Amino acid sequence: MAACEWVARTRKYEREKNVLPSETAIDHPLKLGSVINVDNSRKKSSTPSDSLSKGTPVADPSSLIQAKPDAFDGLDPLSMFAAQEASTKKTSSVSAPASKKEQSSSVSNKEKSQSDFKPWLKKRVGILAKYTTSQKLSISTSFLSSSEKSEKMVIKQQTTVADKVKHRLEQLDDFEEGSVKEMLNLSQQDYVKRIEELNQALITAWESDQRVKALKIAIQCAKLLADVSVIQFYPSKFVLVTDILDTFGKLVYERIFRKSSTFTPGSNIPTMLPENFTPDQVPDSAKETCRNWFYKIASVRELIPREFSQALVRLTKMIRGIGDPLVAVYARTYICRVGILVAPDVCDHLIENLFSFIVSYKQLQGDTVQNILAEQRLEMHQYLQLYPPALDWILQCIAEKSPESTLTDILNRCQKECNSALLLNSIITEFKPEYIAERALQFTELIRNCEEAGFPKHHLYKSLGMNLSQCDPPEAQRLQILSEVWKVVMKMKHPPDYIGCAEAWIEYVCKNFTKREVNTLIGDVIKHLTPERAFEQHYPQEKFLPFLDMFQKESIRVDVCKLIVEAFVKYQEEPTNDPVVVNSLLYVCKTMHDSVNALTLIDERRVIGHLITGFLRKIDFGRDFERQLDSFVDARSSFSSLEAVLVMLVQSVNLLAMKTREVVKGNHTRKTASFIRACVAYCFITIPSIDDVFSRLKLYLLSGQVAMANQALSQADAFFRAAISLVAEVPRTIEIDHKVKSSEPYLLAYMNSFFSTLLVVPDSPDQGALHLVRGLLNVVQEYTWEINSGAKMSIYLNAVCLLSAMSQEYFIYHVDKVDSNDRLYGCDKKFLAEINRLVFTLMEAVFEHLKSLTSEEELKKQAAIAIGFFNRLLCHADLSQPQLATLALNLWNLAQKHGYGNTKYTMRTLEYVKQKGSSGHKEYAAIAQKMNLQTKI
């Protein structure tokens, strides 16, 4: 098999386009707008309305994907799968049995998800993280040390009533024999572990039909809530213990709910109670079981365990009997937490719990509390910090369920009986910002006159500022509010207190006032900075840059700069060209850039580069393109060490050139042509500064395309020649996502893109015909490819396709106002002869490579190259020429010779040739008759 003279097939591109089948698209092809009903006998596609109107049986809902047109318009297949998975989960959750408590909980949670209600689960995590201790803890129980005994206990199935009574009495005797043991010197981690063991023991006892044991575990856990020996850990203890009580309550409810099921006559399938059942629907057996549980709870001697298990309204009043105010307020918290689940529409007990706390607030200053603090060596401000989680939850429940008038009643009650900073802070934190903003002036007066008593007022001013940042107060009161607050804040001496308030109020000032007030506030912050830089760790126009200069430690200054730029990129929606903003942020970005050195981590470089590019994209001078280019020149000199920024700048300048072309509609004047050359020169100078070879290759190609689109042909030629010379520097391996991969697939893709551009690039009169194609092929020939790699042959075969397209009378595409070689040469015979010689050389190289593939491992690659060459001949060669037809058959036979070809691929190729032959192409029909399929022997 030898190379022969090449004759390209004459292509009529417009006619070929018209022959291709096409149809008008009505909807987006990825839009989900139909439901597929699957039947055993047929498959039918219909709209949802049609299915319902015609009575077509519909499959299980989880098997259907029905989307609203406005919700899933243009959804991609991956999102479709995610929607299908979500639909399946939703269906399964609906079909699963759920108790009424769970149902009401889900309804309540659904309502709260639509508001700002913070669920207990989130507060729970915050409490456990905040309230910790290094002191030793103790736990009293009789169920953690008897594991061996319980393991030896044999559980038998009791069938008669007498056996059940006997078994229960044996359990009681066994539990009474075991004495309560106290575990001392437990660390916090050990304490949490023991609590978890109790929770698991309760579940195990319940599942083993040991109801009495489960009840005793719940009682002993509730007793733990009366222990305040390590008082700073009490909020976390409350969370851990009430989790066990929740588990116990759920188990009891589920048992009663299951006993409420009934059986329809003639059926053995139980019927559960409906979602909103009435007492009349509950059978007597379930009522009796429920009554028994109330009797068991009522018989508990201790007050705390009984209260955590009884009815809602009675509990609210019974808590008055708890002597310790901290234990009492957390008991009220539990009542409110359970109350919104079991009775979401009832709110009387919520207000009652708050007012009861107000009445008992004087106990916090009583002798009992003072003795506890003295014994545990705690200050009053530390003690009061234990109350906010409980008060916040109670007030959040009230704010969620009550009208605005409730806030007025609470404030009036506080003014008369308990104008406490502790309570006032929770009110400001939990009520809606709209309500707080409407009464902002009143709150400033309340804060000024409230009893501080161990709870500093800076907490209140900070909470008020955060609310007013979310919702504006009445316009007439805004300046007065700021004056009243700031004359107190500016006198604060403790750095965290002052900076915390300044951080909360700065947004309010920026939203509602001018630069004058903003500068005044920042100036006050600067005045508070001491020579020792005591405020530096708390730092959150004309005084903006001096403010940044206060950060002397480089790491802190860089972190602050990151936060500033990140906020600007995130919240600045519109582009800007304000010189003050641009210059200030350029200084900030320069600070980040200068922090990068040889030891900086790659991830850190990536983050800083991303922030700087985000800022630079926000700079827009509109139609003033020269000023825009000047800003890019300044940015290049300022951020020369970050490749991500240089790549973005080159792309931005190319975009600027294309915008210029769009403005002049491709008809450049002397001024715009000069500007285009300046843009091209910028890119040509900047690209070599980038280290990554593939980034440079892509930018050279892109910049050359932009230059050619703007009729800068000599500059485009320079870009393409630079890209060709750079191909030789491509490494054989590259690192992507910390994995070393071969660079050949990426280089092959780049070469294909380069070939598609070279089709329309006109030859330079100084360099001769096809000088860029020759130069690129010479580099490919000299490049060191991997052993047994097929990438080089793929490039050669793709180059044959390029040269075949170049030999056409009219190219398939052009660049506007650029004369390509089809117009320059007009199918000149010398030009076509040059193309044919180049193709002949490529074909010889491919044949030599095919001959060298002789080993068993290489025959599969030989078949792949042969079938690939054969398909290119089908598309681009004139097969009416006998030599080319014979060559095509030889390649086909070579691909089939050893049976290593892709069977499906070869079958589709054969079908294509036969189809072309049946459509009137005699040369294809003749080849199809001689094409045979062979298999490996």
At which of 852, 872, 906 does a domain end? 852
The pLDDT-based confidence of 312 (bands split at 50, 70, 90) is: low
pLDDT tens-digit series, residues 78-113: 544 444 444 444 334 333 334 444 444 443 444 444
Q: Answer yes or no: is pLDDT of 298 > 60.
A: yes
* Residues in CB range of 563: below 8 A, 6 or more apart: none
- The predicted pLDDT at position 144 comes to 57
- The predicted pLDDT at position 57 comes to 38
At which of 852, 883, 914 does a domain end? 852
Looking at the fold, whether 762 and 823 belong to one and the same domain comes out as yes
Q: Answer yes or no: is pLDDT of 492 > 50.
A: yes
Structural domain contains residue 124: no
CA 64 → CA 35, 52, 76, distances in Å? 6, 14, 17
Looking at the fold, whether 825 and 890 belong to one and the same domain comes out as no
Q: What is the pTM of this model?
A: 0.55
Structural domain contains residue 114: no
At which of 790, 823, 852 does a domain end? 852
Looking at the fold, whether 762 and 836 belong to one and the same domain comes out as yes
What is the Cα–Cα distance from 384 to 368, expressed in whole angstroms?
15
Structural domain contains residue 928: yes
pLDDT tens-digit series, residues 868-918: 888 888 888 888 888 888 888 888 888 888 777 777 888 888 888 888 888
Looking at the fold, whether 842 and 888 belong to one and the same domain comes out as no
Q: Do 444 and 411 meet the contact criterion of CB atoms below 8 Å apart?
A: no
Q: Answer yes or no: is pLDDT of 40 > 80.
A: no
Amino acid in position 874:
L
- The predicted pLDDT at position 156 comes to 42
Looking at the fold, whether 841 and 873 belong to one and the same domain comes out as no
Q: What is the token pair recorded at 254?
A: 């589920």
Structural domain contains residue 827: yes
| Lowest mean pLDDT across 370-374, 549-553, 782-786 | 549-553
Structural domain contains residue 798: yes
CA 9 → CA 183, 755, 876, distances in Å? 93, 19, 5
Q: What is the token pair recorded at 878?
A: 């004139």
Share of the chain above pLDDT 70, in %: 80
Dihedral (CA of 566, 570, 575, 578) sign: negative
The pLDDT-based confidence of 698 (bands split at 50, 70, 90) is: very high
Q: Which helix (H) or strand (E) holds 740?
A: strand 739-742
Looking at the fold, whether 835 and 879 belong to one and the same domain comes out as no
> Which pairs with CB-CB distance under 8 Å and at least 24 residues apart come from 385-390?
385/455, 386/131, 386/231, 386/232, 386/234, 386/235, 386/326, 387/326, 387/329, 387/422, 388/422, 388/425, 388/426, 389/123, 389/126, 389/127, 389/131, 389/235, 389/333, 390/235, 390/329, 390/330, 390/332, 390/333
The pLDDT-based confidence of 352 (bands split at 50, 70, 90) is: confident
Looking at the fold, whether 889 and 920 belong to one and the same domain comes out as yes
Domain, as residue range, for 766? 757-852
Structural domain contains residue 126: no
Structural domain contains residue 306: no
Nearest C-alpha neighbor of 218 from the set 150, 309, 151: 309
Burial class (CB in 10 A: 0-12, 13-18, 19+), 799: buried
User: How many domains are there within the chain?
Assistant: 2
Structural domain contains residue 359: no
